Amino acid sequence: MIRSSIRLHLLVAISPGLKRVPVGPFVLRQKPTKRHFSAISATMGVDQRLVLWFRNDLRLTDNAALQTAASMIRDNQAAEVVPLYCFDPRQYITTPHGNPKTGGFRAQFLLESVQDLKQSLRHIGSDLMVCMGTPEEAVQGLMQEGVRTTVIAHAEITKEELDVEKGVKRALGDKGRLHLVWGNTLYEKDELPLQPDMSDLSDVFTPFRNKVEQKCQIPRPAPKPQQGALPLPSSLDKSSLDRQPSRVEDLNSLVPEGAPKLSTPSPDPNAAIAFKGGETAALQRLKHYLWDTGCISDYFNTRNGMLGPDYSTKFSPWLAHGCISPRTIHHETKRYEEQHGSNKSTYWVTFELIWRDFFRFFTLKHGSRIFYKHGVSGKRMPWSHDEQAFERWRLGKTGMPLVDANMRELKQTGFMSNRGRQNVASFLTLDLGLDWRKGADWFESVLVDYDVCSNWGNWVAAAGLTGGRVNHFNITKQSKDYDERGEYIKTWVPELAQIPAPSVFEPWRLSREDQQKYGVQIGVDYPEPPKSRYNTEGFGRDDNRDGGRRGRGGHGRGRAGRSGGGKHGNYSRHGGANKHKKTASEFERFG
Ligand SMILES: Cc1cc2nc3c(=O)[nH]c(=O)nc-3n(C[C@H](O)[C@H](O)[C@H](O)COP(=O)(O)OP(=O)(O)OC[C@H]3O[C@@H](n4cnc5c(N)ncnc54)[C@H](O)[C@@H]3O)c2cc1C
């Protein structure tokens, strides 16, 4: 739901020539007028103003939009650049499923990322204008009579983001233009051996991977810009750029009245890792995982883990916010391989990044269908709307220990392993038969690494709505395979801490005496498990339910490795992002 009049809190003031207004997130509660920005144009001395609009690309290195702005400066097409970031109120609404669209973990990470970006821009002699309002309004405020405004940004793929782009274009009218560039993927979109609208993209991963690995190169990352590459308008009062939201609570001015307010999340001692936003921390994590520990050389063997900081890379929050590019990770891995040797593990991180690309291009092809109840395949499933069952899943109180441990970790830390995500998504959709969009929406709210294509793409696949193979996991078997001693479960479900493995995987089977011995009464201290919709004897079957197709619409990490294959698809493939417009309220993702 878009609020029609959104307050724009501009955190900067431009002077001289501008009547000083007290600025800051808490004082300037008005839309910036042209007057606020007149000082810029008066001294720019050029007829083109560049606005470098940062979105999910909060980095200096390998930033295609930034490179575009810098090259326009180098070529004297413009003299000054205003780097801009907007905390857009539409990202702080309550979703139709009742969740804060951006929860505290991601808000905190984002805030840190913006702060870090500002510092980095300052180091190269620039700065960041931080705006509490829509980009449309901010851009409008930056426009000036007689000066052409060129807004440079990374192109996004999905409906809400495309709507914002349209709004910015509208705001610019005939007085400027929005210059969108592709970025944030491993492979360059225009170099893919595919139609521009992705109509011939396979709906399963392996054919896509084979094609790109055989036919495309992963471009080298663009270097960090040099000092002076992005000159600010000379009239900008630098001290006025000091103010920006510093705490999660400062974002509450964007939260609609009556909606739950954001607060700084408290760190959990069991968290896999203490994530810190920003490019600086991203590069440190890359260094840690490659050079400091060599963990990448064992990644293939550890990647299905669930406990601890290093079983997987944990690059996802930084990738999701664009604090690091996948190309930087890939080429640093290549450099590491030159010194330490390559193996299946070092290759596999790039393999996973190709999954990330796949979901982006998949979304480009199918547009808003990834948000629809019947998904990409249009398969009609009788999704249940049992609110109580959903709440038990959300809060980690289903009675299935592995599911509960993962859901509690998510709620308390904003992160969950890939193994966990596969299992809880399979359980929600294929065992409980609950509407998968509620699960995806909860993930969107809570995940620190929420990425629209990766999240909704993985969810629609987990729900069996891509036409590809459906991974229906046997939760008990998964517990035995990936949490052999039950340590993960015991970390997050302390009620079960005394129960030895393997009994801890199925506590409802314990005798009354054993329950007493282990200090837990099932049905009182810890819930009985629910009935599976498909299999009342157990939960899931660790199988696929597409009649033997080997294509993988989702992304499991089965021990047998990943096989992909046969094309499928009995629906139109001719859908760009704009083709599948949803009819619900403007800022929902639901069809
Ligand atoms: C239901 C569900 C929802 C998910 N939601 C998100 C999401 O919102 N954001 C997100 O980044 N990932 C999502 N994933 C994918 C994956 O679970 C996470 O990327 C991964 O767990 C992050 O941990 P990591 O960085 O240590 O991953 P690693 O195992 O170290 O992998 C390295 C990188 O590869 C990419 N990657 C790995 N697996 C996938 C995948 N299945 N799909 C897309 N990219 C992948 C990620 O960028 C990841 O950081 C989801 C998976 C499922 C099953």
**Which CATH number do you get for residue 517?**
1.10.579.10
Looking at residue 480, its pLDDT comes to 97
Question: Ligand 1 pocket: which of 449, 460, 472 to mutate (most atoms <8 Å of CB)?
Answer: 449
Question: Total domain count for the chain?
Answer: 2
Inform me whether the pLDDT recorded for 292 exceeds 90: yes
Residue with tokens 């001395």: 45
Query: What distance in angstroms lies between residue 512's CA and the mean position of ligand 1's atoms?
Result: 41
State which ligand 1 atom lies nearest to the alpha carbon of 319: 47
Tokens of 152: 């440079």
Looking at residue 141, its pLDDT comes to 87
Percent of the chain beyond pLDDT 90? 77
**Domain endpoint, select from 130, 153, 183:** 183
Distance, in Å, from the CA atom of 181 to the CA atom of 163, rounded to the nearest integer, reads 16
76-111: b (≥16 Cβ within 10 Å) or e = eebbbbbbbbbbbbbbbbbbbbebbbbbbbbbbbbb
* Domain contains 285: no
Query: What distance in angstroms lies between residue 424's CA and the mean position of ligand 1's atoms?
Result: 14
ipTM of the complex as predicted: 1.00
* Domain contains 103: yes
Question: Ligand 1 pocket: which of 423, 428, 458 to mutate (most atoms <8 Å of CB)?
Answer: 458
For 141-183, the pLDDT digits (tens) are 888 788 899 999 999 999 999 999 999 999 999 999 999 999 9
For 98-150, the pLDDT digits (tens) are 999 999 999 999 999 999 999 999 999 999 999 999 999 999 988 878 889 99
* Domain contains 554: no
Residues 6+ apart with CB under 8 A from 173: none
Range of the domain at 509: 369-544
* Domain contains 423: yes
Mean pLDDT of 57-82: 96
Query: What distance in angstroms lies between residue 356's CA and the mean position of ligand 1's atoms?
Result: 7
Tokens of 297: 């050389």
Query: What distance in angstroms lies between residue 316's CA and the mean position of ligand 1's atoms?
Result: 6
Binding-site sequence positions for FAD? 299, 312-316, 352-359, 449-451
- Ligand 1, atom 21: closest residue by C-alpha: 418
**Domain endpoint, select from 143, 158, 183:** 183
- Ligand 1, atom 23: closest residue by C-alpha: 314
**Domain endpoint, select from 544, 567, 585:** 544
Query: What distance in angstroms lies between residue 361's CA and the mean position of ligand 1's atoms?
Result: 16
Chain centroid to Cα 539, Å, comes to 29
Which CATH number does the domain housing residue 71 bear? 3.40.50.620
- Ligand 1, atom 18: closest residue by C-alpha: 418
Query: Could you give phi then psi for residue 153, rounded to 5 degrees?
Result: -155, 165
- In the 3-class helix/strand/coil scheme, how is 155-185 assigned residue by residue? CCCCHHHHHHHHHHHHHHHHHEEEEEECCCC
Mean pLDDT of 1-12: 35
Q: Which residues line ligand 1 (CB under 6 A)?
A: 303, 312-316, 319-320, 349, 352-353, 355-356, 359, 417-418, 421-422, 425, 443, 447, 449-451, 454-455, 458-459, 462, 555
Inform me whether the pLDDT recorded for 367 exceeds 90: yes
Q: Give the pLDDT band (50/70/90) at residue 542.
A: low
* Domain contains 251: no
State which ligand 1 atom lies nearest to the alpha carbon of 447: 8
Query: What distance in angstroms lies between residue 12's CA and the mean position of ligand 1's atoms?
Result: 36
Distance, in Å, from the CA atom of 192 to the CA atom of 456, rounded to the nearest integer, reads 23
**Of the candidates 554, 557, 553, the residue with the CA atom closest to the CA atom of residue 568:** 553
Which of 25-29, 146-150, 212-216, 357-361 is predicted least confidently?
Answer: 25-29
* Domain contains 27: yes
CB 140 within 8 A of CB 6: no
Q: Give the pLDDT band (50/70/90) at residue 276.
A: very high
Inform me whether the pLDDT recorded for 13 exceeds 50: no
Query: What distance in angstroms lies between residue 418's CA and the mean position of ligand 1's atoms?
Result: 6
Looking at residue 164, its pLDDT comes to 98
Looking at residue 242, its pLDDT comes to 74
For 27-63, the pLDDT digits (tens) are 233 334 333 343 343 344 457 889 999 999 999 999 9
Amino acid making up residue 21:
V
* Domain contains 323: no
* Domain contains 116: yes
Binding-site sequence positions? 299, 312-316, 352-359, 449-451
DSSP letter for each residue of 440-473? HHHHHHH-TT--HHHHHHHHHHHTT-SSSB-EE-
